[in-house]
Structure 1
Amino acid sequence: MSEYYNSLLQGDKGALKRALYKAMGFTDEALGKPLIAIVNTYTNATPGHYNINELCEQAKKGIEAAGGTAMTFGDIAPCDGIAEGHEGMRYILPSRDLIASTVECMVRAHRFDGLVLLGSCDKIVPGLLMAAARLDIPAVFCNSGPMMPACYKGKHYDGNIVTEAVGWKQRGEIDEEEFRKIENLAEPCAGSCAMLGTANTMGCLAEAMGMSLPGSAVIPAVYAKRLQMAYETGRAVMGLVKKGITARLVMTKEAIENAIMVLMAMGGSTNGIMHLQAIHKEAGLGHLPLEAFDRFSKRIPQIASVYPASPYDMVDFYEAGGVPAVMKELEPLLHGDCITASGKTVKENLQHTEYSTFREVIRTVAEPFHSDGGVAILTGNLAPLGAVVKPAAIPEHLMTVTGKAKVYQSEQEACEAILAGEVQPNTMVVLRYEGPKGGPGMPEMYRPMKCLEGMNLSDSCTIVTDGRFSGSNRGCFVGHISPEAYEGGNLALVEDGDEITIDVPNRKIILHVSDEELEKRRTLWKPVEKQLPDGYLNIYRKITKSAAEGAVMEME
């Protein structure tokens, strides 16, 4: 029966499959069209995904208007903010690879002809993009859009004002009533968090690499244009199906380099590095070394500045022109021939893009915020395989700093010490055993950094860790230190009082302890073993790779 587009439904062998679809009301006419799966990550437990049912309906309409039949299935979407500060954060990064695998299972079981990916939060976006790269079928991504900012005392904030308010209350600057007022206004509507954190960074990088439609990444979640973009996403995937443009034809080496350049130009989340490494690998392109990011960091200036690097939030970034305006400034440096979800090349997409006139948010390459990229890689004896830092969020006076170490074996231990007043100004807070294996799960060290802010220590203290950081963090922080402490990296050998130098301009992180002394300490070292509940984290610890390799799950 050649009237069925999907090969699984053709002929007598396809009869049972057709019958099963007909049990849900699908007609022969509908089943004769390309079958397009919509990955719907809706949940009312995560604000970044609360509006995705509406986007799903619009994407479905777009698919059907363009001649396809839409079928939906769900996937998990844990919230970093709700998982923050407890055991749940250990599951957030591992959820990325789980999401990729669940999408793979469903799509290959049903052999769909195309894929619309709807997601918004930190690990959901890269998980969906990894799945598309692995499956290599026509696919388009659409995010839910950023949340509107909170407004407090005439100033805009993202939801992390709540964590800072904990410190304000601790110091007696606000009372309980004011604290509750802040809590009630901090997250005003659905959408991904209102700053250039990991969620919005990854939405922007999806657009930069061509996997979502031009101009889509930073449309606010509550705007009608967000619904329109979901509809156009449905139409776009049908265009790719008809042209035979699969995900790996879009996610090429050059396209991922475009994403790296946009990451550097925006000063996006440091987590974008490990997610691009994972996507690169899933696209069949092999390992993307940290050196590649450092190379682009030295070439690409930071031309956009968005909260937490500046007072301007995601709505301001949208009004300034968003990703297209950034790419327009970078156009001479980009790979213009890369094909995108629109069916057009980067060069064609930018042909009618206007330059930003909101120069407080997006500047020119000739007059950037910083001559280097907003994310950088450090190396040295404390991080032989590399560490990640975000110059875009670091005060100028902390770009080169030396201090004495105060060592903590967990996030909780560090937070308790900071809030108890045990951490003095100019301290190097060394926070270890929080890497992919040691954590396990490489949780974000969001809360210790916010505790420093709340205690007025973030202008002098630094956090050095094998864990990750939230894209909302600002101050001097060095994460992703590799090898991690659990694997016997030199981070495991640091003792209270050791001097550490962070030199961002020269991309160095140095522990001022002799090799002989480190080897003596190594003979006495035993890794800290954290108790784990039965289940997924035990599997993850065994097969995850180093943060320097994107913390991807891979059997040896």
Structure 2
Amino acid sequence: MTEHPMPKKLRSNFPYGSYLWAVRAAQWRALGIDESELEKPKIAIVNSSSNLAICFSHLDGIANALKQSIRDAGALPFEIRTAAPSDFITGAGAGGAYMLAARDLITNDIEVAVEGAQLDGMICLASCDKTVPGQLMAAARLNIPTLVVVCGYQPSGEYNGKHVDIEDVFISSMHVVTGKLPVEELAGMARNAIKGPGVCSGMGTANSMHLVCEALGMALPGSAPIAANSRQMFDFVHQAGQRIVEMVEEDLKPRDILTPEAFANAVATILAAGGSVNTIKHMQAVAAEGGVDVDVYQLFRDLGKQVPVLVGVRPVGEHSIEQMEAAGGGRGLLKRLEPLLHGDALTVTGKTLTQNLHGVIVSDDAVIRPLDNPFATQPAIVMLRGNIAPQAGIVKYGIDPQKMRRFEGPAICFERSADAIEALQDGRIQPGHVVVMRGAGVRGGPAMGGGASKVVFAIDGAGLGDHVAMLTDGHLSGLVCKGLVVAEVAPEAAVGGPLALVEDGDIVTIDLDLNTLDANISETEMQARRARWRPLAPQFGGGWLDIYRNNVSSMEHGAVLIKPLDISRSGEQPQ
């Protein structure tokens, strides 16, 4: 009788001659995988490639290079696909509601493919902003060795002798709506804004989440931000293919890395970079999926008092993402922050953050500033609370010292972004108003669809950016840093949060020094309004959006859909 060696202790390996061994051997042989390779580690390459959006158009080339690197390291690569949401493409339907809802769909796509096949590890190709948290959430949920590869930012262009990027196009589109800009000017910008693949080139949500990956310890040090398809990016791709196989051998898992200290490091990094406010809910969602006992919202409150702004990349400042990369990138920023960080936090290298930062030098003090010479000492992201935001309200303040820090005025309320924009066009929104745009939260939108960012840019286009304030329970594009806008007010209006009870004429006060958001509504009046309040009919629904609306948790829990996977039940071997 022929002797067969015992399989390695990998969850992807099943006893020789068993049902699962036999059917997998048959399937994979037909794919060109020899039976002699079946006991190798099996690595998922999580790819959101799509021809719908430039953000994802280069990922197949990265996946191919990664496959070779994984094979060279002695493992088997298996490419899997997920949804590929892009704000500027997928955001067209249902008022943008598919965008945030896609984040959790990506997480579940990954679970079905990777957990169902019992693969041993995975590399996630991080691109546009919702793919990154979706991948990190899956890593935390499945808790198998995982490494994130940052797939880079797109090159921007010039128009009429000036820099132009997708942020400029987005803002200018709403300036056309309000009559501030000729449509042909917008068309010229759109023709020149993007010169190649990758994510938006500013410090929007995508590049902010790429920084989060490195600060959490889930990406190789020095890999964010990085130019898409550059030689440096492909160097990291090669290293990642080698490293993920070592991580499987070491059994180094996400929950070894995703500790409360790691989240504190990531929060400090976003504060220092003036990053996207969307990182807050995304990090909270990752923590929820990994069962990490950490309140990301409170971390932003606490660390906001300690962490100065050291980077001024557009839209917060005037530097480019290319300048930040050249000056030292995320690793350079972490080096500047090192005295404020938890240096003993473990990373995907198997080393601590402190070990990874040894010998790192920042090459341009004007781009990544030292702690004693920051762009701003006031926090770039301010967390508010008050009688109309008992859980939270978030302001992207940026680094402009002239920006308003206190505003008081009468509310003018809208349930739809189109109504607010119409009010701007016909002059009903006046200087001194506090524009309230509600019903755009995770349930009301649902999934924060509703166009809050369009209203912000329309206000700017109407020349009212310095003369009105805005409140919304919706979210803002990571490219938004205009005016005094309080976003993600929670609890949201759709579930009866106090924002739903604000009426036209109520005096609203926003104070960034006191961190408060209040309306002059007595508790008695609040109760009376609550008694007669009725929820509005959903703006959009059916299909996946109803599944999302009916299952999504609140913002303070990261707006996740389900309880964390019970990983103790996974990998059961057949009898």
- What is the TM-score of this pair, normalised by structure 2? 0.92
Q: Which residue of 2 aligns with 1:303?
A: 310
Aligned counterparts of 2:469 and 2:495: Cα–Cα separation in 1:
23
Q: Provide the secondary structure at the position in 2 that maps to 1:264.
A: helix
In the TM superposition, what whole-angstrom CA distance separates every residue of 1:347-381 from its partner, at most 9, and x where no partner exists?
1110021024241x221111212224322210010
Q: CA deviation at 1:429?
A: 1.0
- 2:328 counterpart of 1:321: yes
CA displacement at 1:529 relative to structure 2: 1.3
Q: What is the identity, as a one-letter code, of the residue corresponding to 1:240? A: M
Would you say 1:182 and 2:189 are equivalent positions? yes
CA distance in 2, matches of 1:372, 1:176: 38
List per-residue Cα deviations over 1:86-116 (Å, max 9, x = no partner).
Answer: 5151111111111111101111111111100
In 2, distance between residues paired with 1:90 and 1:171? 24
SS in 2 for 1:460: coil
Q: Does 1:529 align with 2:534?
A: no
Q: Is the 8 A contact 1:171 1:455 kept in 2?
A: yes
Asked if structure 2 preserves the Cα contact closer than 8 Å seen for 1:493 and 1:525, the reply is yes
Q: 1:460 to 1:467 in 2, by over 3 A?
A: same
Task: Calculate percent identity across the aligned residue pairs.
Answer: 34
The letter of the residue matching 1:37 is A
Aligned residue-pair number: 555
Distance verdict in 2 for CA 1:422–1:183, change over 3 Å: farther
Q: In angstroms, what is the RMSD of aligned CA positions?
A: 2.0
- 5 Å matches for 1:19-34? 19-34=26-41
Q: Indicate the SS of the match to 1:156.
A: strand
For residues 408 and 435 of structure 1, the distance between their equivalents in structure 2, rounded to whole angstroms, comes to 14
Q: 2:527 aligns with which of 516, 519, 523?
A: 519
Aligned counterpart, 1:157: 164
Tell me which residue corresponds to 2:291. Answer: 284
SS in 2 for 1:205: helix
* Residue 486 of structure 1 pairs with residue 494 of structure 2: yes
Q: How does 1:100-111 map to 2 (within 5 A)?
A: 100-111=107-118
Look up the equivalent residue of 2:166 and give its one-letter code: G
2:548 pairs with 1:543: no
Is structure 2 residue 506 aligned with structure 1 residue 501?
A: no
Contact 1:60 1:231 in 2 (8 A): no
CA distance in 2, matches of 1:18, 1:506: 64
SS in 1 for 2:304: helix
Task: Give distance in 2, aligned partners of 1:10 and 1:365.
Answer: 57
- Look up the equivalent residue of 2:397 and give its one-letter code: P
1:438 pairs, out of 440, 444, 462, with 444
Structure 2 vs 1, CA of residues 134 and 334 (structure 1 numbering), >3 Å: closer, same or farther?
A: same
Tell me which of 248, 259, 262 is aligned to 1:252.
Answer: 259
Ranges in structure 2 where 5+ consecutive residues have no aligned partner:
565-575
What's the secondary structure of 1:140's corresponding residue?
A: strand
| Partner in structure 1 of residue 361 of structure 2 | 354
Deviations 1:303-338 (A, max 9, x none): 111111112121122122111111001111111112
2:144 to 134, 137, 140: 137
Residue number in structure 1 paired with 2:70:
63
Contact 1:146 1:220 in 2 (8 A): yes
Q: Distance in 2 between matches of 1:438 and 1:297?
A: 29
Matches of 1:257 and 1:533, distance apart in 2:
37
CA–CA separation in structure 2 for the residues paired with 1:135 and 1:314:
33
Contact kept? 1:383, 1:490, Cα under 8 Å: yes
Deviations 1:9-65 (A, max 9, x none): 432111222121111110123323111110111101121111111111121122112
Q: Deviations over 1:527-556 (max 9, x none)?
A: 111254421211211221122221111379
Contact conserved, 1:480 with 1:548, CA < 8 A, in 2?
no
Give the direction of change, closer, same or farther, for the CA distance of 1:355–1:160 in structure 2 (3 Å limit): closer
CA contact under 8 A between 1:406 and 1:497: conserved in structure 2?
A: yes
Judging changes above 3 Å, is the alpha-carbon distance between structure 1 residues 53 and 488 closer, same or farther for their aligned structure 2 residues? same
Q: CA deviation at 1:233?
A: 1.3
In structure 2, relative to structure 1, the CA distance for the partners of 1:2 and 1:116 (3 Å cut) is farther
The equivalent residue for 2:130 is: 123
- Rounded to whole Å, the distance in 1 between the matches of 2:326 and 2:202 is 14
Aligned with 2:382 (options 376, 397, 404): 376
Where does structure 1 lack aligned partners over 5 or more consecutive residues? none
CA–CA distance in 2 between the matches of 1:411 and 1:176?
21
* Contact 1:419/1:451 (<8 A) preserved: no
Give the secondary-structure state (helix, strand or coil) at the position aligned to 2:403: helix
Partner of residue 17, structure 2: 12
* 1:434 to partner: Cα distance: 0.6
Q: How has the CA–CA distance of structure 1 residues 454 and 508 changed in structure 2, closer, same or farther, with 3 Å as cutoff?
A: same
- Pair 397,219 (structure 1): closer, same or farther in 2 beyond 3 Å: closer
SS in 1 for 2:166: coil
**Within the alignment, does 1:193 sit opposite 2:200 as a pair?**
yes
**Structure 2 residue corresponding to 1:92, chosen from 90, 94, 99:** 99
Q: Following the alignment from structure 2 to structure 1, what is the Cα–Cα distance between the partners of residues 474 and 177?
A: 26
Closer/same/farther in 2, CA of residues 43 and 352 from structure 1, 3 Å limit: same
C-alpha change, 1:154 and 1:288, in structure 2 (3 Å) is same
Secondary structure, aligned partner of 2:398: helix
Partner amino acid, structure 2, of 1:42: S
